[in-house]
Structure 1
Amino acid sequence: MNEIIDEMKIFGSYAEKDVIFLLKDLSNIQLEGSIDNREKQIQSGQHYSESLPIEYFPPDNYMQLFRETLNGYKHKVALCTGIVSEQIFQNKGEDAVLVSLARAGTPVGILIKRYITARYQVDLPHYSVSIIRDKGLDENAILYILKQHPGKKIQFVDGWTGKGAISIELTKACHRFHKRYGIMLDDTLAVLADPGHCSGLYGTREDFLIPSACLNSTVSGLVSRTVLTNELIGPDDFHGAKYYEELKSADVSNEFLEIVTKEFPFIMNEASKEAGSKINLHEEATFKGMQEVLNIQAEFNIETTHYIKPGVGETTRVLLRRVPWRILMKDPESPYVRHILMLAKERNVEIIHYPNMSYTCCGLIKKVGKNQC
């Protein structure tokens, strides 16, 4: 395992001081398939972690939208980062080890690490590890972290919540870890946006557009989604991923970080106050959003909630990686859905005005081979 660690320190396009990926390098293995073929395989029983969507150079209009979004919401992203970071530091202090969930959690984990360094002059360790729905957390990675940082407290980090599938998976994984190793991990998931009420540790419950959701690997350190197959991942391996070095010229991962980081001096006082208020409230996760998902499932006669992806971040993923059926939209005039409108038009996806939900929008995946989802 130590050899893997040495390799992973240079994995991805982030600086080693920002994050260490605990992932097995699968860059030389062909795992990608077209969106349509991949969707058919997934709906026929193949687990989504056994293949990858094809990663393309982002078109110019995507890049323009990303930069406009980043310029418009850099302050809000910084503030939400600060609110979460203040809570983490007040709860765990210098004993915290940041463990972001690859890949959407990775840039958020880096921002939290940078904020705490700027605010408290404390350089927390930060790793990025894999968690996969229905398969769990990468236990080899967690064991490695605990060995490197005995007595420290792991803080899991992700970008946002949808209906809470990963939050639930994390809780189950932590219980399994306790049974196997006698070590109780804190399953609280720190996120910037928690519209589904899936965490008590968040920056906002507003379903706003986090700019990194607009793109795939080119805003996530050129790292793919994580992979777990018996053929490629042995019992002593970390979960796998690919590094798309060929997309280097389109990489804006560090640009995203730098622009948000520059906002930190302007939000620290407000972040500290907001964090204090949230700590005093002692809010628990209620998974309120799941009831809305169940209502949508019944109304549109959808076979499984796996085909329902609520929230602006998850809707973006549906349009970029899956075969979308329809998009439900609370307010088509919202500034948070401009990229959704653009992507839906490109893919000829119907948008339905759906004002009675707490999410900004919701993506519905098409049941492949049928006329309805």
Structure 2
Amino acid sequence: MIKNNVQTVEGSYSAEDVIFLLKDLSSVHLEKNTDERERAIQQGIHYSEMLPVEYQPTKEYLQLFYESLDTYKQKVATAVGVVSELIMEEKGRDIVLVSLARAGTPIGILIKRYIKRVYGETIPHYSVSIIRGRGIDENAILYLTKQHSGKRLVFIDGWTGKGAISKELTRSAHLFKEKHGIELDDELAVLADPGHCSSLFGTREDFLIPSACLNSTVSGLVSRTVLNDHWIQDDDFHGAKVYKELADQDLSNDYIDVIVNEFKEAAPLIKQAKADVKKINRTPTWQGLHSIETIQKEFGIEDTNLIKPGAGETTRVLLRRIPWKILVKDQEDARLKHIFQLAKERNVPVEEYKKMSYTCCGLIKPMEKKQ
């Protein structure tokens, strides 16, 4: 219990790693099948009012998750180290880590663990909801500003695609100041910034962050966040479910441990990568949006929300939307094995497309094009 007698979500992470400021909706049936959900979204119902059915990975796909984790664990650890170092250097130590649920949550835990290991500081870490088109959970932010008065909130996410969440955070921060007179730092820290939408990142390489491969089973068994007026009252936090029935498949803490175990060996890589990042101009250029504009024109897509760029977003399209086709910059790119596997499982065509800054891009099928 945290506020207003609202039971908050308790996933499979330790409370020492993260506290979720999310109303527990575990007893509510919110899932819709992929076709039904896609049709509802494209007819104007907001995606946050319902949940996708959790994808149950095949043995082949799980094998690819483990392979990608083994391949990229040091790269992830290095990027975590770089963004953690930059946070400590630029934001100071009087901070609170605020992950954006749910992709940001494992990244926030890794940053918290890195800071504890390297600096000996125990930084508070929470996970809150932000929803495209509806903003950040103001009740959660008000709770944090009261609970940690005078501390700087540092917002964390997994990666950037088109930068929609970066823009949503900036918009929310402006509104929050207007309403409550409290200024928030809207600089979003991310592990990977292939869209060039952030100035605080571990890398700008568009590589697969293994936690993007799975859903709740690598995110503390927590669902996507929900903002549905039927279940969320004005003074509630945004909501989420905990899929306790998937506990035997849960890899959340294993994933964290694998990456944390790389920190020591990655130390010289982190030092070099940080130096390299500090040499470049980190001002966001939003260059990924130029790729989106080109794709939109060439493929006749009216709504840019149907274009999901980058390895993380493409994976999500294949896991919980109805893909039309997948664009890849290079069909021989070994980094995209899990994309090829998912596309094969779902019988989605993969097309080589060179004119983009991302390694891949998922195109969602407009419902009127369904044949």
TM-score when scaled to structure 2? 0.97
1:47-94 Cα offsets, whole Å, 9 max, x none, are 000000011432212211111110111000000000000000111222
Runs (5+) with no aligned partner, structure 2: none
Aligned to 2:174: 175
1:184-231 Cα offsets, whole Å, 9 max, x none, are 111111111111000011111110000011111100000000000111
User: Percent of aligned pairs with the same residue?
Assistant: 59
Q: Which moved more, 1:266-275 or 1:67-76?
A: 266-275
TM-score when scaled to structure 1? 0.96
Paired residue type of 1:106: T
Task: Report if aligned partners of 1:58, 1:250 keep a CA contact under 8 Å in 2.
Answer: no
Paired residue type of 2:277: K
Aligned to 2:332: 333
1:145-190 Cα offsets, whole Å, 9 max, x none, are 1111111111100000001111111110011111111111111111
Task: Report if aligned partners of 2:6, 2:23 keep a CA contact under 8 Å in 1.
Answer: no
Q: Does 1:166 align with 2:188?
A: no
Measure the CA separation in 1 of the matches of 2:199 and 2:187: 7
Aligned to 2:296: 297
SS at match of 1:28: coil
Paired residue type of 2:203: T
Aligned to 1:2: 2
Q: Does 1:212 align with 2:220?
A: no
Measure the CA separation in 1 of the matches of 2:56 and 2:348: 22
Aligned to 2:26: 27
Q: Structure 1 residue 364: deviation in Å?
A: 0.2
Q: Structure 1 residue 299: deviation in Å?
A: 0.6
Q: Which moved more, 1:31-40 or 1:333-342?
A: 333-342
Runs (5+) with no aligned partner, structure 1: none
Paired residue type of 2:193: D
Q: Structure 1 residue 357: deviation in Å?
A: 1.3
Task: Report if aligned partners of 2:154, 2:185 keep a CA contact under 8 Å in 1.
Answer: yes
Aligned to 1:231: 230
| Equivalences for residues 11-90 of structure 1 within 5 A | 11-90=10-89
Aligned to 2:201: 202
| Counterparts in 2 of 1:28 and 1:6: CA distance versus 1, 3 Å | closer
State the Cα RMSD in Å: 1.5
Task: Report if aligned partners of 1:4, 1:24 keep a CA contact under 8 Å in 2.
Answer: no
Paired residue type of 2:67: E
SS at match of 1:101: strand
Q: Does 1:151 align with 2:143?
A: no
1:242-282 Cα offsets, whole Å, 9 max, x none, are 00000000000001000000000112233234324434545
Paired residue type of 2:2: N
| Counterparts in 2 of 1:203 and 1:136: CA distance versus 1, 3 Å | same
SS at match of 1:162: coil
Measure the CA separation in 2 of the matches of 1:356 and 1:56: 31
Q: What is the count of residue pairs matched by the alignment? A: 371
Paired residue type of 1:263: E
